[in-house]
Amino acid sequence: MQTGAGSGRAGAVRAAVLMDVFSPASLTGAAIGLAMGAIQYAIARIVIDRIIEAARSEEGPADDEADFERRLGLVRKRLLVGSIVVLPVSGFVLGHLVGTHQ
């Protein structure tokens, strides 16, 4: 009698399911999503920084600069999570759907 996580028929079924989920189409979709997320993050970061610098040069330093910097940091973190996590996961799911329904 065999024991262990990867032994017997259950292990073979588990391996087949993993191979189906992590198909080349799924991984390609995730890679495309990651590339798009990185590009989106870089462009958005540049645009946001330019707008902020233009506003600072016109108005001068603000009284609540520390609060503004804290909020800006939160925006940048959310942008990073949205770009580097959400888009690759979406690409993975779309790639899996396209790859399994051909």
Is residue 1 over pLDDT 50? no
pTM for the complete prediction? 0.69
| Contact between 99 and 22 (Cβ < 8 Å) | no
pLDDT given for residue 33 in this prediction:
94
Please report how the helices 24-59 and 87-100 are oriented relative to each other, as an axis angle in degrees rounded to 10: 150
Q: What's the average model confidence in pLDDT over 33-57?
A: 89
Closest CA to 34 of 94, 88, 95, 91: 88
